[in-house]
Chains A and B, each alone.
Chain A
Amino acid sequence: QKEVEQDPGPLSVPEGAIVSLNCTYSNSAFQYFMWYRQYSRKGPELLMYTYSSGNKEDGRFTAQVDKSSKYISLFIRDSQPSDSATYLCAMRFGAAGNKLTFGGGTRVLVKP
């Protein structure tokens, strides 16, 4: 079993819809939870990070962490074609210098 599980998709939605992404993990020691967006043949870029359980909102993006269920989510409101990309969840044990453990990534396609 992988440490971090993520549905590979693809997830296809119409423009303007809400995109819902999630990951599950097995190691309860993870403290920081990140979401990255990766366009084809590019490096990942950080969208949001969350420390421990709770919600965090940034513009059209909302991240949720439920440590009791070992489940994290990312919601994208009012999705745009430019949101079409692969979304990777990642997590780490500490705030600085620790390696990231990535999920497999979910490919999202937002259709105009």
Chain B
Amino acid sequence: GAVVSQHPSRVICKSGTSVKIECRSLDFQATTMFWYRQFPKQSLMLMATSNEGSKATYEQGVEKDKFLINHASLTLSTLTVTSAHPEDSSFYICSANSPLQGDSSYNEQFFGPGTRLTVL
């Protein structure tokens, strides 16, 4: 259980175009999802917290008009990188909250497999 998928797994686009990344919780409902980005050999940096039915909460330094997040249902959150530029090239990972199997008192973040974005 607690499987999170992302689509696409890889995307290459031209500078100035917009790219949408989907994050789905496959076998559970997630009121809260998180979006991270990870540069090579670096750790995950939280970009924003996505709550179903409300506006996302962005971390300091993350441009909300550039990284549009929509959490329209309990199983789907989308991240749209608008007017992408080469510096936006990164590995984008989402996660979704779910109770841990065998320990319902603890909510764990289950991570998707990531989306590698390359902007030319």
Contacts and interface: CB of A to CB of B under 8 A. Distances in A.
What's the dominant secondary structure at chain A's contact region? loop
Nearest to A34: B108
Contacts of B91: 41
Given A41-B114, A43-B113, A99 B43 contact: no
B93 A43 contact: yes
B75 interface: no
B80 interface: no
Given A6-B43, A43-B95, A43-B114, 15 more contacts: A43-B111, A43-B113, A44-B44, A44-B93, A46-B108, A46-B110, A49-B106, A88-B43, A95-B105, A97-B107, A99-B34, A102-B43, A102-B44, A105-B42, A107-B41
Pairs A-B, 8 closest by C-beta atoms:
A43-B111, A96-B107, A104-B43, A102-B43, A43-B113, A102-B44, A44-B111, A43-B114
Interface of B: 4, 6, 32, 34, 41-46, 49, 91, 93, 95, 97, 100, 105-114, 116
Interface of A: 6, 8, 32, 36, 41-46, 49, 51, 88, 95-97, 99-100, 102-105, 107
